[in-house]
Amino acid sequence: MSNWNVNANSFVPNPNARPFVPGQPYTPPAPEQPVVEPAEDWEEQADPLPVPAQQETVSAPVEEPTPAAPVAESAPPKKEPTPEEDVIAPLAKKFQRTVYVDDGSHKEHINIVFVGHVDAGKSTIGGQLMFLTGMVDKRTLEKYEREAKEKGRESWYLSWCMDTNDEEREKGKTVEVGRAYFETEKRHFTILDAPGHKSFVPNMIAGATQADLAVLVISARRGEFETGFDRGGQTREHSMLVKTAGVKHLVILVNKMDDPTVKWEEERFKEIEGKLTPYLRKLGFNPKTDITYIPCSGLTGSFIKDRPSATEGSWYTGPCFIEFIDELLPSFKRDFNGPVRCIVCEKYSEMGTVIIGKMESGCVQKGDTLVVMPNKQPVQVLQIWADDVETDRVVAGDNIKFKLKGIEESELQAGFIICSPDSLAKTGRIFDAEVLVLEHKSIIASGYSCVLHIQSAVEEVTVKGVIATIDKKTGEKKRAKFVKQDEKCIMRLESAESFVLEPFKEFPYLGRFTLRDEGKTIAIGKVLKVIE
């Protein structure tokens, strides 16, 4: 034992080594290896791993492992997938290996969030979409229709596809973010049906953070649009929250056009468009490129997939909703080969720890080892589901479920980020941010505390101090001690414990946030710099 070299390199089996013959001096093989196929299909090359088990037992003497090292260098393409002794080093290699290869089977994945004032018809349109794309069959719908009739809720039956629990069906109000999915020829869509009621705005924010496209549902019925859009209505708040969540495109479905008070009038459609556009422009949407208005009826399905008869809405010449999202919506840029970033939205335990989340960048395969931030806990991915279908690989943009090994369900929280080990997300407690105050009666100064929503994390933060106000027109900064409504400023915020956040210019989706207080959204902002 005493003459063993404790600091020797760890043994790496070389599948190409010649058989060990006792008494013969070791001669390195001639350098003909580079002829081997390049390591594109390394899965086949990884098979010979179990073979050198006998050599490993024979070459137990100490001197053997050291000469094996130069061989490992001489055949680099073969060695990359092999080493499994060290945890982090091969992962960097493995991480580069999990390269996104477009095999033609991956449809572009788009998450659509339905937002808008309570009772605008979001769940009904969701149900109608699922019926028209064949995700819900006619028999199920007839069953819902019968049950709804018995409860005296005849016109609600379509929304029951999305609102699945009894409480939501009884009151006709969505509480949690409903999920469903449908496919067209070119794309795969996930519907996120957000609650419209103002008590459930935090649930709606969690839904909006997962979305690529927002559909703002407006009720054209006289009186309903006005209550939704006036101060205190959810139309304003929701459109602002989806902008903060990083949604670039907004489709506005003017629903209930078949209502007796509207009767497919073009004037009503134009009136709603005229009132909404200036507000959305103020939020930062470009009316020419980011906003599309489509009149429709969720209950009859007009203009959702097919055009209605000529008597209804013949003045509208634009595309139907499904046609627009399938063909006319520009593709989203996704970083398939970037570092893995997966936002944890929900977690539960079922024969192991399962998380539900959204892949923001990168590509994950079954068996990968990743790190959960801010805990810095290494975990292994045992199983992967994309939209409830088990699969071996997911890429940026997918809605996923991972079964993880190496972490308990109680150690996870919504808002944690799963990262690749060679590029961890930043965590911080104190940070500088550019904040725009939207609605707040008094001033905001140091010591003010509120709730911060960043992706799906919720943290309580305190203002450490306002550094400067920014003139909206000129961008000029002035020193200031406080900030009031409609002002833009740079302030330093502090939370009790550290959470994951990144400067906005590096990872936009981990750098945008919303500040809420007393059930109202008071400000939106972006992280400029993480201090500690």
pLDDT 10s digits, 91-102: 445 444 466 666
Is 181 in the same domain as 265?
Answer: yes
**How confident is the prediction for the chain on average, in pLDDT?**
78
pLDDT confidence bin for 430, thresholds 50/70/90: very high
Q: Residue 504: its pLDDT value, please?
A: 87
Q: Residue 460: its pLDDT value, please?
A: 92
- Among 334-338, 339-343, 501-505, name the one with the lowest average pLDDT: 334-338
The last residue of a domain, from among 419, 446, 475: 419
pLDDT 10s digits, 386-409: 877 888 888 888 888 899 988 888
Q: What is the CATH number of the domain that holds 362?
A: 2.40.30.10
CA neighbor of 389 nearest in space, from 41, 164, 105: 105
Is 288 in the same domain as 350?
Answer: no
Stronger pLDDT, 207 or 274, i.e. the higher one: 274
Burial group, residue 39, by CB count within 10 angstroms (0-12, 13-18, 19+): middle
Stronger pLDDT, 519 or 73, i.e. the higher one: 519
Cross-strand partners of 347: 355
pLDDT confidence bin for 76, thresholds 50/70/90: very low
Is 185 in the same domain as 284?
Answer: yes
Note whether residue 25 is domain-resident. no
Is 394 in the same domain as 462?
Answer: no
Is 386 in the same domain as 460?
Answer: no
Note whether residue 26 is domain-resident. no
Note whether residue 10 is domain-resident. no
Query: Is the pLDDT confidence value at 47 over 60?
Result: no
Residue 307, C-beta contacts closer than 8 angstroms, at least 6 positions apart:
320
pLDDT 10s digits, 169-199: 777 777 767 777 788 878 888 888 777 777 7
Is 144 in the same domain as 286?
Answer: yes
Note whether residue 71 is domain-resident. no
Is 263 in the same domain as 388?
Answer: no
Average pLDDT over residues 320-339: 82
Q: Residue 74: its pLDDT value, please?
A: 41
Average pLDDT over residues 313-329: 85
pLDDT confidence bin for 67, thresholds 50/70/90: very low
CA neighbor of 514 nearest in space, from 419, 430, 425, 439: 439
Note whether residue 11 is domain-resident. no
The last residue of a domain, from among 292, 307, 328: 328
The last residue of a domain, from among 403, 419, 435: 419
CA angle 143, 149, 151 (to 5 degrees): 110
pLDDT 10s digits, 406-429: 888 888 888 899 988 888 888 889
Query: Is the pLDDT confidence value at 249 over 50?
Result: yes
Instruction: Find the domain containing 258 and state its range.
Output: 108-328
Is 480 in the same domain as 351?
Answer: no
Note whether residue 78 is domain-resident. no
Note whether residue 514 is domain-resident. yes
Query: Is the pLDDT confidence value at 216 over 70?
Result: yes
Is 301 in the same domain as 366?
Answer: no
Chain centre to alpha carbon of residue 328: 22
Is 321 in the same domain as 411?
Answer: no
Is 310 in the same domain as 447?
Answer: no
Is 286 in the same domain as 387?
Answer: no
Average pLDDT over residues 296-319: 83
Average pLDDT over residues 2-22: 76
Note whether residue 295 is domain-resident. yes
Domain count for the chain, please give it.
3
